[in-house]
Structure 1
């Protein structure tokens, strides 16, 4: 009988060996390093401090969404709603600020709205037995429609300086006042969004690797029926995973809207594909039972650096979409080859 306390000796969930999973993560890391070297040789400005911070900022939203997406994918599901939930959460945060709520509690309200959307996804999937693709596609339309309806399809601006602190602030920033009265940035500091992303990644990795709910997430994705017979509450486990995905989409929404200092109801379009791509490139299997947060972080940086390097090379956004599309197809193909070899 299945043992919910840990993986089978020498094997990962879903029949994929830990050696194979580590090899996939290592290959993703090598790809990341090759991209860094290649773009650095093509443009010396790529290695500048300011560009490095730009990459961190661009990757933070993808990384936050990817963490929640990884949990969902490990259970054998998918969440197509995170981009729209991101927009809705940001809008609700901005509306709370406009209503007079302080920024921190307002952002908490936005995160709770995202978690509620995720919980609704989990309820529809586990109780109504709707396939995850269809259920989250429906939530994608619902959340986007709500964001547009609440704002009249118009951005919410004039949110105050405090609202932009999370997205534009930095730790250890050093600024010197010059003789002419203008400030000069000596060290731009570590962006708060990057710190938040890494903190969430560490917490999620701990949860998946060290807590019972993490083992249950892997077990549910590996063999749901065997997990259920072994005492795992698979429906509750799925509900937890989707709720976490929604909550992290809410956090990402706060980060993105704070960076813009404006709540845009149209933001987050296609972000769900970036989150899925980050997880799959990092080694998560769409068949469930396999995936790591560290791999997803590598995948997120691959996407972020790829976009940044192509931008610096003057490649159009349309060509970038084509390139990212081929990268996703390649990652999924590698996952399928790996799964067939493990059978």
Structure 2
């Protein structure tokens, strides 16, 4: 009987992999088409500087999207990541302003994000409140706390060291020009991009190679069957939401570091970008389906689309409309896939 109880979530997980892979290939084809279209529309699209701009814009969306993917696979949703991003970045800025070194301050900011995620998980699993309502409440709480701590004013003059994470790069090559001024030979690989790659690899390893990853898929595929199979469903959900909050905190550090200013009003609507990246990349809002590579493709689709439209002079409002339609289309395709 024990073997029979264990099979449903694992079998369901394996059956859904092929559908998820097909969705990921479709997203990859869409990304390639966008790059081709925008490169023909503007020759500067393929320049090194513009490529770095796309990577930097995608880094924050990608980090949030990874955490969102973990939550969505469990069958949940996290609407608080944008506000948690702002709160974590604000706390980091306040710590730096108080004289704490940058690295410990950023660690404190990530811990604040993880605490918000843990609270979300507790409310959802122990108080039995739906993820939508629980994370909506945290969205308001985190934003309110960030505004209260700062009086709705930005925290500036945080020093050059605070901006290293967001604006620094690896392997940057600078030479002295003929006129005596420094000349950038190679801009290097931005630290946010390296951080995104490390987090993506770690999250993919967790989902595909660790027991907690299989438990996350099993919980989203069939929660009751997973519970009967011995999966600690509540613990699994709390881990997923805690990781989502921690990554939101890390995203807050990256974004505030890029600005070299802690802004309590940052991160508005970022949760929708994170959800869009996950869904476009193949994650199912019904739970049980999703992967990190697909989310990365979805994040780059959003980043490339916004960058290309900006270069074409399309307003931010039109961009929101287009991304909204893309999300609706992605969810519709997901529903068709689930019905089949």
TM-score of the two chains, using structure 1 as the length reference: 0.96
CA distance in 1, matches of 2:17, 2:117: 30
Cα distance change on mapping 1:2 and 1:27 into 2, 3 Å: farther
Q: Report if the CA contact (8 A) 1:4-1:232 is conserved.
A: no
Distance 1:53 1:147 in 2: 30
Give the whole-Å Cα distance in 1 for the aligned partners of 2:285 and 2:166: 32
Determine whether 1:199 maps to 2:194.
no
Query: Is there any run of 5+ residues in structure 1 with no aligned partner, and where?
Result: none
**Is the Cα–Cα contact under 8 Å of residues 5 and 212 in structure 1 kept in the other structure?**
no
Distance in 2, matches of 1:259 and 1:311, equals 20
**What are the within-5 Å matches in structure 2 for residues 105-184 of structure 1?**
105-184=104-183
Pairing 1:164-313 to 2, within 5 Å after superposition: 164-313=163-312
RMSD (Å), alpha carbons:
1.2
Instruction: State the TM-score, normalizing by the size of structure 2.
Output: 0.97
Q: CA deviation at 1:179?
A: 4.1
Helix, strand or coil at the partner of 1:17:
helix
Q: Report the CA distance between 1:5 and its aligned residue.
A: 11
Distance 1:82 1:265, change over 3 A: same
CA distance in 2, matches of 1:61, 1:308: 14
Out of 2, 6, 19, the residue aligned to residue 3 of structure 1 is 6
Q: Show the counterpart of 2:23.
A: 24
Structure 2 unaligned spans of 5+ = none
Shift of 1:4: 7.2
Whole-angstrom CA distance in 1 between matches of 2:18 and 2:76:
24
Moved over 6 A (4+): none
Q: Give distance in 1, aligned partners of 2:17 and 2:291.
A: 11
Report the counterpart of residue 325 of structure 2 in structure 1.
Answer: 326
**Deviation for aligned residue 1:300:** 0.2
Kept in 2: contact 1:69–1:245 (CA 8 A): yes
Task: Indicate if the aligned counterparts of 1:4 and 1:215 stay in contact, CA closer than 8 A.
Answer: no
Q: Per-residue deviation at 1:100?
A: 0.8
